[in-house]
Structure 1
Amino acid sequence: MNKNCPLCLADNQNFAYNGVFTHCPNCDLVFRNPSPTFLGVNEKKHYQKHVNGPQYPGYVSFLKRAINPISEYLKPNLQALDFGCGPGPAIDFILQDHDISCDNYDPFFFPDGIKSKAYDLIFATECLEHFHNPAKDLENILNLLKPHGKLSVMTDFHAGLEAIPTWYYTKDLTHVSFFSHNTMQWIAKNHGLEIQYSDNTRVCVFEKKTTPCS
C-alpha cells in the first residue's frame, strides 16, 4: 500500500484498500500503482492506439464539453494551453474559431509544447486519470495559469471505492488516478481556486484566485 496519497500527500493511516485500488478519505482520490507493462515506451504505444484528432467530429464534440462552459470567456488573442493533449490534439483546432492561440503539451508527443510562462486558459481533458503524481502535475499546471485564468478539466468522476472494480474507466491500465466532485472541491480549497462550473460527472472549470487560499 502507498505510504502517502499522490494528490494530497496524506499518510495511509485512514486509507481504504481493496487489493488493487486505494481510497484517500482526505481528498477522495482513488488510485492504484501504475502497471509495469504500461510505463515508458509501452505507455506511449498504448496512447498511439487512441483514435482521436480534429478529423473526428465525435471527438471534437466530446471535447467541447470542456469548452462550452466558458464560451462567454473566450475572447480573441487569449493564450491557451492543452495540457496532456495526446497524439491527436484537437482543442487548438476548436479554439481557432475564437481567434485564440493554443499550445499543445504532452510528455510523450509534444514535450516542448509549452511556449509561454503564463496562460489565460488551460485545458486538461482526459489526462488527469493518467497522472502518476497528480500533486506535482497539478502544481505544474497551476504555475502556468494566470490569476483569474480558467482551468477546465475533464475526467470521469468515480462513484466510490465499492464501484471501482466494475467501472469501465479502470479497465484501461494506464488510468491510475480517479477523481470525484469532492476531489475537485478539495483541489479548489487547497490550491487557491474557485469552481466556476461542474456537471458533477466529468467536467469541472476552475478560476485561479489572485490571493492564495487560507
Structure 2
Amino acid sequence: MSEPPICPLCAAGPCGHYHRDTRRDYLQCPRCALIFVPAAFHLAPQAERAVYDQHQNSPADAGYRRFLSRLYTPLIAELVPGACGLDFGSGPGPTLSVMFEEAGHPMAIYDPYYAPDTTVLTGQYDFITATEVVEHLAAPGRELARLVGLLRPGGWLGLMTKRPTGHAAFGDWHYILDPTHIGYYSEATLSWFASTHGLSVRFPASDVALLHKGR
C-alpha cells in the first residue's frame, strides 16, 4: 500500500482530493491549504525544460516589463538605495533583474536550467524575487525556507504567482493547463507560510505577495 500523500509545503497529511481532470489529480493540504499536483504527474526534467525553452521573454519586451512591474513597483518602493537582490528562477531571458539594476540595485540571478550557479545561494540579500516560479516547485517547503534564510534582517521576499479563487472556478482556470504548474498558493497558504517563518505578508496585487523579514 502506498503512503498517504503529504503536503510538499508544510509536510502535513494526509492530503485529500481537490480536483481531477483528464491529465492529472490535484490534492489540497488540510493545514496550509496548498493545492498541489502529486509527484506521479510531474514532468521529467528534460520535458520540463522543453516547455521553458518556448518562453520568449526579454528585457527589450515592453509588455513583459509591464507584466513584471506588478511586482517591481510595490517592491522597489520598500528598498533602500543600493539594496542588493537575488532573482530566483530568472528563466531564459532575465528581465526583472535588469529592471532593478537599472534603478541602482545590484542583483544576482539563479535558475536551475539557465543560470545554475549555486554559489549565489550561499549569499545574503536585502531582497529576493521569484516571479512565476513557486508554482513550478516540487519541494516548495524546502526551497522557500532556503530563500527566507538568505534574506538579511529587514529583507523582502517578493513572489508573483496567480492565486486560486475557489473550488468552483478551479476546473476552468487557465493556470492549471500548464503542465509545469504543480502548486497553487492562496492568500491563506501564503499567510500560513509567512506566520510559520516569522514574516509579515501583504498582497498588493491579485498575483503578488510581499513577505517581510523582521529585524
Q: Provide the TM-score with structure 1 as the length reference.
A: 0.90
Structure-1 separation of matches of 2:158 and 2:42 = 30
Distance 1:18 1:149, change over 3 A: same
Distance 1:137 1:38, change over 3 A: same
Alignment-derived partner of residue 17 in structure 2: 16
Alpha-carbon distance, 1:129 to partner: 0.4
Tell me, yes or no, if the aligned pair for 1:181 and 1:201 is still in contact at 8 Å.
no
Alignment of 1:27-66 (within 5 A): 27-34=32-39, 38-66=43-71
Kindly provide the amino acid, as one letter, of the partner of residue 200 in structure 2.
E
Work out which of the residue numbers 55, 71, 76 in structure 2 matches 1:71: 76
Structure-2 separation of matches of 1:63 and 1:172 = 19
Structure-1 separation of matches of 2:171 and 2:198 = 33
Alignment-derived partner of residue 184 in structure 1: 190
Q: Provide the TM-score with structure 2 as the length reference.
A: 0.89
Structure 1, unaligned runs of 5 or more:
none
Whether 1:100 aligns to 2:105 is yes
Structure-2 separation of matches of 1:95 and 1:113 = 21
Q: Kindly report the root-mean-square deviation, in angstroms, between the aligned alpha carbons of the 2 structures.
A: 1.9
Q: Which runs of 4+ in 1 moved over 6 A?
A: none
Structure-1 separation of matches of 2:5 and 2:197 = 22
Find the residue that maps to 1:18 and give its secondary structure: strand
Work out which of the residue numbers 5, 8, 29 in structure 2 matches 1:6: 8
| 1:154-211: CA deviation from partner (whole Å, max 9, x where unpaired) | 000012334322110000010000001111110111011111x30362101011124x
Structure 2, unaligned runs of 5 or more:
none
Find the residue that maps to 2:77 and give its secondary structure: helix
Find the residue that maps to 1:11 and give its secondary structure: coil
Structure-1 separation of matches of 2:94 and 2:125 = 18
Quick one: percent identity of the two aligned structures?
A: 34
| 1:29-87: CA deviation from partner (whole Å, max 9, x where unpaired) | 10012566732112111101012121111111111111111233233321100001111
Distance 1:79 1:163, change over 3 A: same
Find the residue that maps to 1:77 and give its secondary structure: coil
Kindly provide the amino acid, as one letter, of the partner of residue 43 in structure 2.
F
Alignment-derived partner of residue 158 in structure 1: 164
Kindly provide the amino acid, as one letter, of the partner of residue 150 in structure 1.
W
Aligned length: 208
Find the residue that maps to 1:150 and give its secondary structure: strand
